Chains A and B, each alone.
Chain A
Amino acid sequence: SAVISQKPSRDICQRGTSLTIQCQVDSQVTMMFWYRQQPGQSLTLIATANQGSEATYESGFVIDKFPISRPNLTFSTLTVSNMSPEDSSIYLCSVGGVNEQFFGPGTRLTVL
Protein backbone atom coordinates (compact mmCIF):
# COMPACT_ATOMS: atom_id res chain seq x y z
CA SER A 1 0.00 0.00 0.00
CA ALA A 2 0.98 3.64 -0.20
CA VAL A 3 0.33 6.53 2.13
CA ILE A 4 -0.22 9.83 0.38
CA SER A 5 -0.34 13.28 1.90
CA GLN A 6 -1.39 16.51 0.24
CA LYS A 7 -0.87 20.15 1.11
CA PRO A 8 -2.83 22.28 1.55
CA SER A 9 -5.91 20.34 2.59
CA ARG A 10 -8.07 23.28 1.59
CA ASP A 11 -7.72 26.85 0.42
CA ILE A 12 -9.80 29.82 -0.61
CA CYS A 13 -8.24 31.85 -3.39
CA GLN A 14 -8.97 34.96 -5.36
CA ARG A 15 -9.73 34.93 -9.06
CA GLY A 16 -6.63 35.35 -11.22
CA THR A 17 -4.18 33.94 -8.71
CA SER A 18 -2.40 30.56 -8.76
CA LEU A 19 -2.18 27.77 -6.22
CA THR A 20 0.38 24.99 -6.03
CA ILE A 21 -0.71 21.70 -4.49
CA GLN A 22 1.87 19.32 -3.14
CA CYS A 23 1.65 15.54 -3.08
CA GLN A 24 4.01 13.37 -1.04
CA VAL A 25 4.12 9.57 -1.17
CA ASP A 26 5.76 7.35 1.44
CA SER A 27 7.41 5.15 -1.17
CA GLN A 28 9.05 5.57 -4.56
CA VAL A 29 6.63 5.32 -7.46
CA THR A 30 7.06 5.67 -11.18
CA MET A 31 3.73 7.21 -12.06
CA MET A 32 1.65 9.74 -10.19
CA PHE A 33 -1.78 10.88 -11.23
CA TRP A 34 -3.70 14.09 -10.66
CA TYR A 35 -7.51 14.12 -10.62
CA ARG A 36 -10.14 16.80 -10.33
CA GLN A 37 -13.51 16.29 -8.70
CA GLN A 38 -15.85 19.16 -9.41
CA PRO A 39 -18.76 19.73 -7.02
CA GLY A 40 -21.25 16.90 -7.23
CA GLN A 41 -19.33 15.13 -9.97
CA SER A 42 -17.02 12.19 -10.44
CA LEU A 43 -13.26 12.17 -10.70
CA THR A 44 -11.62 13.25 -13.92
CA LEU A 45 -8.01 12.52 -14.70
CA ILE A 46 -6.04 15.71 -15.36
CA ALA A 47 -2.63 14.26 -16.13
CA THR A 48 -0.12 11.52 -15.49
CA ALA A 49 3.27 12.54 -14.13
CA ASN A 50 6.30 10.36 -14.70
CA GLN A 51 9.55 11.22 -13.00
CA GLY A 52 12.07 12.55 -15.48
CA SER A 53 9.66 13.36 -18.27
CA GLU A 54 6.93 15.83 -19.04
CA ALA A 55 3.46 15.09 -17.77
CA THR A 56 0.88 13.61 -20.10
CA TYR A 57 -2.36 15.61 -20.11
CA GLU A 58 -5.83 14.32 -20.80
CA SER A 59 -8.13 15.89 -23.31
CA GLY A 60 -9.40 19.22 -22.06
CA PHE A 61 -6.44 19.93 -19.80
CA VAL A 62 -3.34 21.89 -20.81
CA ILE A 63 0.06 22.46 -19.31
CA ASP A 64 -0.30 26.24 -19.19
CA LYS A 65 -3.32 25.94 -16.93
CA PHE A 66 -2.16 22.96 -14.87
CA PRO A 67 1.64 22.81 -14.82
CA ILE A 68 2.99 19.76 -13.03
CA SER A 69 6.38 19.07 -11.54
CA ARG A 70 7.82 15.69 -10.68
CA PRO A 71 11.28 16.31 -9.23
CA ASN A 72 11.72 12.84 -7.69
CA LEU A 73 10.02 9.50 -7.20
CA THR A 74 8.08 10.48 -4.06
CA PHE A 75 6.87 14.00 -4.79
CA SER A 76 4.81 15.97 -7.28
CA THR A 77 3.13 19.34 -7.50
CA LEU A 78 0.13 20.53 -9.45
CA THR A 79 -0.38 24.25 -10.01
CA VAL A 80 -3.78 25.66 -10.85
CA SER A 81 -2.98 28.85 -12.74
CA ASN A 82 -4.96 32.02 -13.30
CA MET A 83 -7.85 30.62 -11.32
CA SER A 84 -11.51 31.27 -11.94
CA PRO A 85 -14.55 30.15 -9.92
CA GLU A 86 -14.91 27.21 -12.34
CA ASP A 87 -11.69 25.80 -10.90
CA SER A 88 -13.36 25.29 -7.53
CA SER A 89 -12.94 21.56 -7.03
CA ILE A 90 -11.25 18.88 -5.03
CA TYR A 91 -7.88 17.97 -6.47
CA LEU A 92 -6.57 14.51 -5.69
CA CYS A 93 -3.20 12.90 -6.13
CA SER A 94 -3.02 9.18 -6.79
CA VAL A 95 -0.46 6.44 -7.26
CA GLY A 96 -0.71 2.82 -8.19
CA GLY A 97 -0.86 0.34 -10.99
CA VAL A 98 -3.54 -1.27 -13.05
CA ASN A 99 -4.76 -3.47 -10.20
CA GLU A 100 -4.78 -0.99 -7.36
CA GLN A 101 -4.75 2.75 -6.90
CA PHE A 102 -4.25 4.80 -3.75
CA PHE A 103 -5.56 8.30 -3.30
CA GLY A 104 -4.51 11.22 -1.24
CA PRO A 105 -7.04 13.00 0.99
CA GLY A 106 -7.53 15.73 -1.60
CA THR A 107 -7.18 19.50 -1.66
CA ARG A 108 -10.46 21.37 -1.52
CA LEU A 109 -10.11 24.58 -3.52
CA THR A 110 -12.61 27.41 -3.54
CA VAL A 111 -12.07 30.30 -5.94
CA LEU A 112 -13.90 33.54 -5.25
Chain B
Amino acid sequence: AQSVTQLGSHVSVSEGALVLLRCNYSSSVPPYLFWYVQYPNQGLQLLLKYTSAATLVKGINGFEAEFKKSETSFHLTKPSAHMSDAAEYFCAVTANSGGYQKVTFGTGTKLQVIP
Protein backbone atom coordinates (compact mmCIF):
# COMPACT_ATOMS: atom_id res chain seq x y z
CA ALA B 1 0.00 0.00 0.00
CA GLN B 2 1.15 3.54 -0.62
CA SER B 3 -0.05 7.00 0.27
CA VAL B 4 0.95 10.63 -0.02
CA THR B 5 0.25 13.48 2.37
CA GLN B 6 0.67 17.09 1.31
CA LEU B 7 0.71 19.49 4.22
CA GLY B 8 -1.11 22.69 3.44
CA SER B 9 -3.75 22.91 0.76
CA HIS B 10 -2.88 26.57 0.20
CA VAL B 11 0.52 28.24 0.49
CA SER B 12 1.17 31.95 -0.06
CA VAL B 13 4.61 33.44 -0.57
CA SER B 14 5.89 36.80 -1.66
CA GLU B 15 7.56 37.17 -4.99
CA GLY B 16 11.28 36.44 -4.51
CA ALA B 17 10.73 34.44 -1.32
CA LEU B 18 11.54 30.79 -0.74
CA VAL B 19 8.94 28.27 -1.85
CA LEU B 20 8.55 25.16 0.29
CA LEU B 21 5.81 22.65 -0.45
CA ARG B 22 5.69 19.65 1.85
CA CYS B 23 5.11 16.04 0.89
CA ASN B 24 5.34 12.93 3.03
CA TYR B 25 4.85 9.45 1.65
CA SER B 26 4.19 5.95 2.83
CA SER B 27 5.15 2.90 0.82
CA SER B 28 5.77 -0.74 1.68
CA VAL B 29 8.32 -1.03 -1.15
CA PRO B 30 10.95 1.40 -2.44
CA PRO B 31 9.01 4.28 -3.93
CA TYR B 32 9.31 6.46 -6.96
CA LEU B 33 8.28 10.02 -6.17
CA PHE B 34 7.08 12.83 -8.39
CA TRP B 35 6.02 16.44 -8.33
CA TYR B 36 3.56 17.65 -10.94
CA VAL B 37 2.33 21.17 -11.60
CA GLN B 38 -1.08 22.08 -12.95
CA TYR B 39 -1.73 25.57 -14.22
CA PRO B 40 -5.34 26.76 -14.38
CA ASN B 41 -7.35 24.94 -17.01
CA GLN B 42 -4.36 22.90 -18.12
CA GLY B 43 -3.15 19.32 -17.75
CA LEU B 44 -0.44 17.94 -15.52
CA GLN B 45 3.19 18.73 -16.20
CA LEU B 46 6.04 16.80 -14.61
CA LEU B 47 8.32 19.03 -12.55
CA LEU B 48 10.75 16.43 -11.31
CA LYS B 49 11.03 12.83 -10.17
CA TYR B 50 13.01 10.61 -7.83
CA THR B 51 13.72 7.12 -9.09
CA SER B 52 16.33 5.81 -6.61
CA ALA B 53 19.32 7.66 -8.04
CA ALA B 54 20.50 10.95 -6.50
CA THR B 55 18.47 12.01 -3.48
CA LEU B 56 18.54 15.67 -4.50
CA VAL B 57 16.56 16.03 -7.67
CA LYS B 58 16.53 19.11 -9.84
CA GLY B 59 13.58 19.84 -12.06
CA ILE B 60 12.28 22.43 -14.43
CA ASN B 61 11.68 26.11 -13.64
CA GLY B 62 14.27 26.13 -10.84
CA PHE B 63 12.48 23.66 -8.59
CA GLU B 64 14.20 20.90 -6.70
CA ALA B 65 13.26 18.24 -4.17
CA GLU B 66 15.17 16.09 -1.74
CA PHE B 67 14.30 12.50 -0.96
CA LYS B 68 14.77 11.80 2.75
CA LYS B 69 14.10 8.20 3.55
CA SER B 70 14.49 8.65 7.30
CA GLU B 71 11.79 11.30 7.28
CA THR B 72 9.72 9.70 4.47
CA SER B 73 9.63 13.13 2.87
CA PHE B 74 10.01 14.61 -0.59
CA HIS B 75 9.56 18.35 -0.12
CA LEU B 76 9.61 20.69 -3.10
CA THR B 77 11.60 23.91 -2.94
CA LYS B 78 12.52 26.89 -5.04
CA PRO B 79 14.84 29.61 -3.74
CA SER B 80 12.96 32.55 -5.24
CA ALA B 81 9.30 32.52 -6.18
CA HIS B 82 8.16 34.03 -9.44
CA MET B 83 4.66 35.17 -10.29
CA SER B 84 4.48 32.48 -12.96
CA ASP B 85 4.88 29.80 -10.28
CA ALA B 86 1.30 30.34 -9.13
CA ALA B 87 -0.37 26.99 -9.79
CA GLU B 88 -1.43 23.80 -8.07
CA TYR B 89 1.26 21.28 -7.21
CA PHE B 90 0.72 17.57 -6.74
CA CYS B 91 3.06 15.10 -5.09
CA ALA B 92 2.71 11.52 -6.27
CA VAL B 93 4.15 8.10 -5.48
CA THR B 94 4.36 4.92 -7.48
CA ALA B 95 5.70 1.53 -6.57
CA ASN B 96 5.96 -1.85 -8.15
CA SER B 97 3.92 -4.31 -6.19
CA GLY B 98 3.50 -7.78 -7.56
CA GLY B 99 3.96 -6.50 -11.10
CA TYR B 100 1.14 -3.98 -10.72
CA GLN B 101 1.97 -0.31 -10.67
CA LYS B 102 -0.26 2.44 -9.46
CA VAL B 103 0.17 6.17 -9.04
CA THR B 104 -1.20 7.69 -5.88
CA PHE B 105 -1.57 11.47 -5.80
CA GLY B 106 -1.61 13.82 -2.88
CA THR B 107 -4.47 16.22 -2.43
CA GLY B 108 -2.54 19.09 -3.97
CA THR B 109 -1.19 22.43 -2.76
CA LYS B 110 -2.25 25.68 -4.37
CA LEU B 111 0.63 28.13 -4.46
CA GLN B 112 -0.17 31.82 -4.45
CA VAL B 113 2.60 34.29 -5.21
CA ILE B 114 2.05 37.78 -3.88
CA PRO B 115 3.69 40.65 -5.73
Contacts and interface: CB of A to CB of B under 8 A. Distances in A.
Interface string A37-52: 0000111110010000
Contact of A45 (B34, B95, B103): B103
Interface of B is mostly: strand
A100 interface: yes
Given A42-B107, A43-B105, A98 B32 contact: yes
A101 B107 contact: no
B90 interface: yes
Contacts of A105: 42-43
State the majority secondary structure of interface residues on A: strand
A98 B101 contact: yes
Contact of B108 (A31, A42, A98): A42
Given A42-B107, A98-B96, A103 B43 contact: yes
A50 to B, nearest CB: 11
* Number of chain B interface residues as a range: 20 to 34
A42 B88 CA distance: 10
Contacts of A97: 101
Given A42-B107, A43-B90, A99 B95 contact: no
Given A99-B32, A103-B36, 16 more contacts: A44-B105, A45-B102, A92-B43, A92-B44, A94-B103, A97-B101, A98-B32, A98-B94, A98-B95, A98-B96, A98-B101, A99-B51, A99-B94, A101-B34, A102-B46, A108-B41
